[in-house]
Amino acid sequence: MSNRVGPSRPPGPGKVFYPMFVDLEGRRCLVVGGGPVATEKVEKLLDHGAAVRLVSPELTPELAALVESGRIAEHRARPYRPEDLEDCFLVIAATNLDAINRMIWQDAEARDMVCNVVDVPQLCNFIVPSIVRRGELALAISTGGASPVVAKHIRRRLDETFGPEWEALVDLLRDVREELKVRYRDMPSRRDAVERLMETDVVQRLAAGDERGARELARRVLDIEGVVA
């Protein structure tokens, strides 16, 4: 089964990237490059549980420390070779050499792999969005590679707008999920029930630290008091 999430040829101007969340836990991901940009990409992959194969003869102090600590699964201290792609789920090319980055893209395309060449949207079939996380809630921002600065600016605004109460709300709804399934047998009715909850002050209660009040409100509005899953 193909890992592709993009077209079979380099995307042209105006390409639309569909937002998807991929489970990287335990998957081997290749990063080629050892500079600050590669450092950022490696850290993101590690945050999502990926097993990173890093290829670069030179490393930033941060990457060197990650290699030394064993957090990076494999470091090949040499220039890129096509065999570095073997057994990898995706590849991020983050070198400062255009010819090498293009070679990586072509080799990945030949293998029908997921590939991102940093700051070159036409040589990408997936993008790495800027993420705001609140527990299991993830808000992704992307400009399709047109302007990472704009994406970061929006991320800061979202970071200020969506506080920890939104994590608490997602936790609450996860905890009553099975009861919701018992009370409402189909997706439209469950959706309508949660919509009714969102029209209340449940988020404000959670922001004020009144988790008990928020949960009591949720059970009443969702009509799941006494429901046994």
pLDDT tens for 100-111 read 999 999 999 999
- CATH fold, domain 28-128, is Rossmann fold (3.40.50)
If you ran DSSP here, which 8-state letter would residue 183 be given?
H
**Inter-residue contact 73 to 52 (CB < 8 Å):** yes
pLDDT at 212: 95
pLDDT at 15: 59
User: pLDDT-based confidence at 113, cuts 50/70/90?
Assistant: very high
Question: Over 80: is that where the pLDDT of 115 sits?
Answer: yes
pLDDT at 9: 43
Collapsed DSSP state (helix, strand, coil) of residue 171: helix
Question: How many residues does the structure list for the chain?
Answer: 229
120 against 205, higher pLDDT: 205
How many Å apart are CA 144 and CA 122, to the nearest integer? 10
Q: CB-based contacts of 67: which residues, under 8 Å, 6+ apart?
A: 54, 59, 75
- Please write the tens of the pLDDT for every residue from 195-216: 999 999 999 999 999 999 999 9
pLDDT at 1: 28
Q: Where are the domains of the chain?
A: 28-128, 164-222
Q: What is the pTM of this model?
A: 0.71
